[in-house]
Amino acid sequence: MESHAVVPGHITGLFTVERRSDPIKTGSTGAGITIDPGVSVTARTADTTNVIINGEPATIEPVTRVLEDLGVTATIDIETKLPIGAGFGVSGAATLGAALTATAVADGTKTEQELIERAHVAEVTAGTGLGDVVAQARGGIPIRIEPGSDGRLDGIPATGRIEAISLGTLSTPAVLDERPEQITEAGELTLATLLEDPTIEQLFACSQEFAQATGLLAPEVSEVIDAVETAGGTAMMSMLGKTVVALGTGLSDAGYDPIVGQIDHAGARLTQDPNNF
Amino acid sequence: MESHAVVPGHITGLFTVERRSDPIKTGSTGAGITIDPGVSVTARTADTTNVIINGEPATIEPVTRVLEDLGVTATIDIETKLPIGAGFGVSGAATLGAALTATAVADGTKTEQELIERAHVAEVTAGTGLGDVVAQARGGIPIRIEPGSDGRLDGIPATGRIEAISLGTLSTPAVLDERPEQITEAGELTLATLLEDPTIEQLFACSQEFAQATGLLAPEVSEVIDAVETAGGTAMMSMLGKTVVALGTGLSDAGYDPIVGQIDHAGARLTQDPNNF
């Protein structure tokens, strides 16, 4: 038996770090953009759990954790065109997709919110993410008003084409441990500014402000953003990766060869056919 | 200037009636299915508000109300293949689509949750619906755990084809006023049963139980449901309309010529092009 899911990528623009004793309540507030293409996940019934990414055996700690927590075993086959560790939330997408599909091939008796909670806890416990899972479950342009898997969400009403280019990886745990207070302070300030004018243009402006205020803006990322702006476009850095994201044709117009996607309004969902991806 | 949105139809399986002094908190708990095709809405800048449905001038009280509440005027052009007043939540979809698109052509400075709240209040105040707007905003197979526009939601993880056939209309306000306590009692019981086993098959079973317990099951609807079941399928009545909804090819297999749709995972969203519909 097999089951398929698609989960969007998530580009984080700005965020806070909110650690609590309860992993359900641990997470982050902030805002980002979910994109299609994201991650496609297929689960197949198996006696032991095996994880495959783009055809190669792999280990993704939160994926293993969430299956253990759910008490199911399965072969989890993950396909994605997005770079891993580059600020697209691939680990969160793989974890949520694994929870959805592995449960579907096992007993199928969990609600979406129960599966989101399990995937969120697995990500937080593995230290691979704080806010991707809840954003990817929702889709659109999610605003995380409260942290944790049961925190209040909102969104910016917008649609359109998104371009992205990755210049390399950043280690999520290292950056989060280094300066959580500075990140949280900048995240709270820029989120408040965004909520005064909840548009996609303002999200890009606030995200740029956040990247500068936290010192997270990498020089090579800054250079590409400048090139997009010189060509008349709007761009920002994705947290946490050396990744530049632009509205519309911003990166193409500046002469780059980007990943092209769309805002994903659906969020994580089971699909009937893996070729829906 | 113009702006486009798509909002799914919503087939209510079971529900409660929850009236509060605050229209934001007024609504219903329950469960249903959102479907694509739904309703396509285009707003165009105009000095006075005009509403058009499928090419003809029309009056939809909650649409007028939500534009007044938002302080905007626009021509609202609504297209749908779904029958009106037949339990597909067309008024809720039109209202939420009008709020999204009219705001986009005006100033665009509201979050999705703010627009959902305005559309929900307009529906509740007009008496045309209690739970459609929040379900249609979410998409998928929404479970309304708490009533109102800020109530907690969950969902059943499933996907697939849905068929529907409408045998006529039922007046929403009349039915709700007639026996709210009986409806709420049956809604609470069947929702609790659904949450014990949150699958789409169980949603159909609980919805059938609800239709029988409330006495809302129309004889002509019951006849079609029986025909689907005889042909090996699964069907239920949509609340509130003389409408039969079946999983997969249930109605086709029984010899009917149904509306064919899919579960809509995206929920209400702005679109770039009305032909996305």
DSSP string, B253-264: HTT---EEEEE-
Q: In the 8-state DSSP scheme, what is residue B231?
A: T
Q: Is the dihedral of CA A219, A225, A227, A229 positive or negative?
A: negative
CB contact under 8 A, A155 and B113: yes
Helix (H) or strand (E) holding B160: none
- Above 60 in pLDDT, residue A277? no
Note whether A183 and A16 are within 8 A (CB): yes
pLDDT digits (tens, 9 = 90+) for B219-248: 999 999 999 999 999 999 999 889 999 999
Interface of A with B in 137-176 (CB under 8 A): 139-140, 143, 154-160
Could you write out the three-class secondary structure of chain A?
A: CEEEEEEEEEEEEEECCECCCCCCCCECCEEEEEEEEEEEEEEEECCCCEEEECCEECCCHHHHHHHHHHCCCEEEEEEECCCCCCCCCHHHHHHHHHHHHHHHHCCCCCCHHHHHHHHHHHHHHHCCCCCHHHHHHHCCCEEECCCCCCCCEEECCCCCEEEEEECCCCCHHHHHHHCHHHHHHHHHHHHHHHHHCCCHHHHHHHHHHHHHHCCCCCHHHHHHHHHHHHCCCCEEEEECCCEEEEECCHHHHCCCCCEEEEECCCCCEEECCHHHC
Q: Which residues of B touch A192 (CB under 8 A)?
A: none
pLDDT digits (tens, 9 = 90+) for A170-220: 776 677 777 889 999 999 999 999 999 999 999 999 999 999 999 899 899
- Bridge partners (DSSP) of residue B92 are none
- Above 90 in pLDDT, residue B179? no
Q: Which residues of A touch B198 (CB under 8 A)?
A: 109-111
Helix (H) or strand (E) holding B271: strand B269-271
Q: State mean pLDDT over B73-95.
A: 95
Provide the whole-model pTM. 0.95
C-alpha closest to that of B87 among B175, B192, B149, B27: B175
C-alpha closest to that of B233 among B221, B220, B224, B243: B224
Q: In the 8-state DSSP scheme, what is residue B239?
A: B
User: Dmax over Cα atoms in chain B, in whole Å?
Assistant: 55
What is the model's pLDDT at position A45? 95
What interhelical angle do B180-196 and B200-213 show, nearest 10? Answer: 160
pLDDT digits (tens, 9 = 90+) for A20-71: 999 999 999 999 999 999 999 999 999 999 999 999 999 999 999 999 999 9
What is the model's pLDDT at position B277? 39
- Above 70 in pLDDT, residue B273? no
Q: State mean pLDDT over A91-98.
A: 98
Average confidence score pLDDT of chain A: 94
Report, in angstroms and rounded to the nearest whole number, the Rg of chain A calculated over CA atoms. Answer: 18
- Above 60 in pLDDT, residue B59? yes
Closest CB from B111, B159, B265 relative to A156: B111
Residue from A4, A36, A111 to probe the interface with B (highest B Cβ count within 10 Å): A111
Q: State mean pLDDT over B145-173.
A: 92
Q: Which residues of B touch A266 (CB under 8 A)?
A: 139, 265-267
pLDDT over 90, % of chain A: 88
Residue from A112, A138, A262 to probe the interface with B (highest B Cβ count within 10 Å): A112
Task: Dump the DSSP string for B25-80.
Answer: T-B--EEEEEEEEEEEEEEEE-SS-EEEETTEE---HHHHHHHHHHT--EEEEEEE
Q: Is the dihedral of CA A114, A118, A119, A120 positive or negative?
A: positive
Nearest chain B residue to A115 by CA distance is B157
ipTM: 0.94
CB contact under 8 A, B269 and A155: no
Distance from CA of A80 to the nearest CA of B (A): 20
Chain B CB within 8 Å of residue A113 CB: yes
pLDDT over 70, % of chain A: 97
CA distances for B189 relative to A188, B185, B198, angstroms: 42, 6, 14
Q: Which residues of B touch A108 (CB under 8 A)?
A: 157, 199
Nearest chain B residue to A116 by CA distance is B154
Chain B CB within 8 Å of residue A36 CB: no
CB contact under 8 A, B270 and A158: yes
CB contact under 8 A, B157 and A197: no
Chain A CB within 8 Å of residue B110 CB: yes
Nearest chain A residue to B202 by CA distance is A109
Average confidence score pLDDT of chain B: 94
Closest CB from A109, A112, A199 relative to B154: A112
- Per-residue tokens: A105: 């091939």
Distance from CA of B201 to the nearest CA of A (A): 11
Closest CB from B104, B160, B198 relative to A272: B160
Q: Tokens 């986009």 sit at which residue?
A: B104
Q: State mean pLDDT over B169-176.
A: 70
